[in-house]
Amino acid sequence: EGKGQIWLDEVNCTGEEKALRECRAKPWGEHNCNHVEDASVECSGNSEGDQVRLVNYGNRCAGRVEIFHNHQWGTVCDDNWDLVDAEVVCRQLDCGRALSAPGRAQFGRGDGIIWMDETNCTGTESALSSCPARPWGTGNCYHGEDAGVVCSGSIVSAFAPLRLVNGSGRCSG
């Protein structure tokens, strides 16, 4: 159950809306609900495995690999970490092809738990959490061995200025 203000009630979306605020509903803040009726969503992307993110580079397609498991973010050890493992991460994040799989905490040391060690993807997995590895949270690593990934999708947004021209606004052209 949530706390505080309930903003939406009687929400009725068609599925064509681009944002929840575009759906028909009672006026903002008007409701006859309590928090036991709070709505939730589970997206299909979560069913493919635990979420993955790349951090500490300033670009979502390159950085230290972190995986969300058991309600907390943790890192991945660089033992056995290679381009095949990185390819699975890049595909899961829709970031193009893997360019490199740096280890030794090239993107800085994480903190907290190290979730995966001795990761050994075949390259066909749709999510990093589907790859063979030691049991979750067990291993012989420290954060100086955190794995990283550089995907091809990081190059354009990180190094080449990009703009859209001759469109009806800044988001088309």
Q: Specify burial of residue 81 (Cβ count, 10 A radius: 0-12, 13-18, 19+).
A: buried
What is the mean pLDDT of the segment spanning 20-28?
A: 87
Please give the Cα distance from 111 to 129 (Å, whole number): 19
pTM of the full predicted structure?
Answer: 0.62
* pLDDT cut 70: percent of the chain above it: 89
Answer whether residue 164 is part of any domain: no
Q: HSE-up of 151 (CA within 13 Å, CB side)?
A: 26
Alpha helices in the chain (DSSP H): 83-92, 153-159
Which is higher by pLDDT, 158 or 41?
41
Place of tokens 């009806």: 168
Q: What is the DSSP letter of 126?
A: S
Q: Between 50 and 95, where is the model more confident? A: 95
pLDDT tens-place string over residues 160-170: 556 677 777 76
Is the same domain home to 79 and 28?
Answer: no
Q: Classify residue 124: in a domain, yes or no.
A: yes
One domain for residues 20 and 87: no
User: 26 with 75, same domain?
Assistant: no
Give percent of the chain above pLDDT 90. 45
Domains identified in the chain, total number = 2
Same domain, 77 and 145: yes
For residue 77, the model assigns a pLDDT of: 94
Quick one: DSSP state of residue 73? E
**pLDDT value, residue 48:** 46
28 & 67 share domain: no
- What is the C-alpha separation between 167 and 107, in angstroms, rounded? 37
31: left (phi over 0), alpha (psi -120 to 50) or beta: beta
Residue 59 sits in the same domain as residue 108: yes
What average pLDDT is seen over the chain?
85
Domain of residue 129 covers 52-158
Could you tell me if residue 159 is left (phi over 0), alpha (psi between -120 and 50 degrees) or otherwise beta?
A: alpha
- Of 145 and 156, the structure prediction assigns the larger pLDDT to 145
Looking at the fold, whether 67 and 141 belong to one and the same domain comes out as yes
66 and 103: one domain? yes
